Amino acid sequence: MGRVNARETKDIQGFGRINRVRVTLRDQAVSSLFVVSITTVFTLLLSPLPSDARAATAPQPPAAARQTSPTVQPLFPASQPPTQAQSSAAQHSVPTPRPVQTPDSATPSSSRPITTIKVQANEVVLIFTVTDKKGRFITGLKRESFGLLDDGRPPVAVLNFTQQTNLPLRVGIMLDTSSSIRQRFQFEQDSAIGFLRQILHRGDLAFVEGFDIQTDLAQSFTDNIALLNRGIRKLRPGGGTALFDALHKACRDQMLNLREEGAVRRILILVSDGDDNYSRYQNSDAIKMCQRAETIIYAISTNISPNKSKGDEVLRVISEATGGQALYPVRIEDVATGFRKIEEELRSQYSLIYRPAAFKNDGSFRTINLQVIDRRYKVRVHKGYFAPRPE
């Protein structure tokens, strides 16, 4: 009963082989499908997404992080192409060492090249100095180092920027000849003469004026050192002091009336104790006239007492409003040191010529805000200027 014939056994074995074959094929098919699926997944993961898909899938930063952080924008970006005026002016921007004048020089040295930059009525010439916190002069800064607002607006165009400018000088020497400085007047005279011998070069001009209750124009504008020397020597002290009147008149009659085709530096050296007891004009009137004449005032105090006087404060206010500086020698012999410091500053000045925005020839006062981006440094520049009146 339990025997199975040979044919049945053969069929059963054959069925088993068929089933094994089917299982094997099915396993291979599943394996192939798995390999294909894995390959497809890796292909999709490694393939670059389209740009719109990448933008859609990229993680987005928080809204606050996406905002651009404010940065200090320099006034003159390095990528700004130079204008034709800048290119032509650049030929004159290389500073040249100034030779020392000898006492016998009758006229300024001609070895220094003359810088001539023509300026239109709607262009501003800005002369300024940069110092560190200790008052040392900083030279070699680039135009990208500064930011400027003229009457609250950036300039329309920058036409020229020069380090250690050698623009021609128009210098006035104003000596207080009141009776209060009689004992120290000779030191003032000697120091003024030495200063002019050192600072004047070809293309520069200077005048000499003394003042007490009246002004004495001892020598009008000239480049002749001998004439300037003679003008200083003939001044005599005596009388009261009308400082504000003298300053107002010098800026009005000498500086404001200059008719120059090119840009120049207008400088007044005021040697006085700062006292005033006769002027009709106020201090503010004198400052406004200096600003209208675009003249920088450097003051050397002749007050050698250990305490600052009211006159010293007057000199400080005048100098700072016009972009200059007041110096206070501790001994009358140190007046010459004050002149030497001014000489050093004149060799360290920058010049900037630009075209302001929304400029009108209406005689209005326009404020100037010039800063160095590097906060370690400070700019000394006048606080503003008067636009010309319509002719």
| pLDDT tens, residue by residue, 316-350 | 999 999 999 999 998 888 899 999 999 999 999 99
Q: Where are the beta strands (DSSP E) in 196-264?
A: 205-211, 215-222
- Cα-trace Rg, the chain: 40
Structural domain for 53, as ranges: 6-57
Cα(263)–Cα(266) distance, rounded to whole angstroms?
Answer: 10
Q: How far is C-alpha 344 from the chain's CA centre?
A: 18
Is 82 inside a domain boundary?
A: no
Is 123 found in the same domain as 35? no
- Cβ atoms of 112 and 202 closer than 8 Å: yes
Is 192 found in the same domain as 45? no
* Final residue before a domain boundary, out of 36, 57, 78: 57
CA distances from 178 to 26, 48, 376 (A): 122, 88, 41
Which one-letter DSSP state was computed for residue 253?
I
Cα(182)–Cα(192) distance, rounded to whole angstroms?
Answer: 16
pLDDT of residue 305: 85
Is 308 inside a domain boundary?
A: yes
Residue 33 has pLDDT above 90, yes or no: no
Is 140 inside a domain boundary?
A: yes
What are the two backbone dihedrals, phi and then psi, of residue 90, each rounded to the nearest 5 degrees? -65, -25
Q: pLDDT confidence of 314, banded at 50, 70, 90?
A: very high
Residue 95 has pLDDT above 50, yes or no: no
* CATH at residue 323: 3.40.50.410
Q: pLDDT confidence of 362, banded at 50, 70, 90?
A: very high
Is 75 inside a domain boundary?
A: no
pLDDT of residue 36: 38
Location of structure tokens 């009211």? 310
Q: Is 0.85 topped by the overall pTM?
A: no
**74, two tokens:** 């320099």
Q: pLDDT confidence of 113, banded at 50, 70, 90?
A: low
Is 120 found in the same domain as 240? yes
Is 138 found in the same domain as 18? no
Is 10 found in the same domain as 132? no
Location of structure tokens 């006229």? 107
Q: What percent of the chain has pLDDT over 70?
A: 69
Residue with more model confidence, 139 or 31: 139
Q: Helix (H, G, I), strand (E, B), or coil: what is residue 369?
A: strand
Q: Helix (H, G, I), strand (E, B), or coil: what is residue 132?
A: coil
Residue 271 has pLDDT above 80, yes or no: yes
Is 319 inside a domain boundary?
A: yes
Q: How far is C-alpha 89 from the chain's CA centre?
A: 17
Q: pLDDT confidence of 368, banded at 50, 70, 90?
A: very high
Angle formed by the axes of helices 185-199 and 225-233, to 10°?
170
Q: How far is C-alpha 141 from the chain's CA centre?
A: 8
Is 234 found in the same domain as 173? yes
Cα(234)–Cα(216) distance, rounded to whole angstroms?
Answer: 10
Residue 359 has pLDDT above 80, yes or no: yes
Residue 365 has pLDDT above 80, yes or no: yes
Is 361 inside a domain boundary?
A: yes
Q: Helix (H, G, I), strand (E, B), or coil: what is residue 206?
A: strand
Is 212 found in the same domain as 334? yes
Is 317 found in the same domain as 230? yes
- Cβ atoms of 228 and 195 closer than 8 Å: no
pLDDT of residue 162: 94
Is 151 found in the same domain as 253? yes
- Cβ atoms of 302 and 176 closer than 8 Å: yes
The maximal CA–CA distance of the chain, rounded, in angstroms, is 161
Residue 284 has pLDDT above 60, yes or no: yes
Which one-letter DSSP state was computed for residue 97?
P
Residue 257 has pLDDT above 60, yes or no: yes
Is 279 inside a domain boundary?
A: yes
Helix (H) or strand (E) holding 268: strand 265-272
* 3-state class percentages of the chain: helix first, strand second, coil last, to nearest 5: 35, 20, 40
Q: pLDDT confidence of 374, banded at 50, 70, 90?
A: very high
- Chain segment 130-175, per-residue pLDDT in tens: 999 999 999 999 999 999 999 999 999 999 999 988 999 999 999 9
Is 361 found in the same domain as 232? yes
Residue 235 has pLDDT above 90, yes or no: yes
pLDDT of residue 28: 46
Number of structural domains, the chain? 2
- Cβ atoms of 167 and 261 closer than 8 Å: no
Pairing assessment for the beta strands 205-211 and 215-222 based on DSSP bridges: antiparallel
Is 64 inside a domain boundary?
A: no
Is 253 found in the same domain as 298? yes
Cα(293)–Cα(257) distance, rounded to whole angstroms?
Answer: 8
Is 388 found in the same domain as 246? yes
pLDDT of residue 75: 61
Q: pLDDT confidence of 76, banded at 50, 70, 90?
A: low
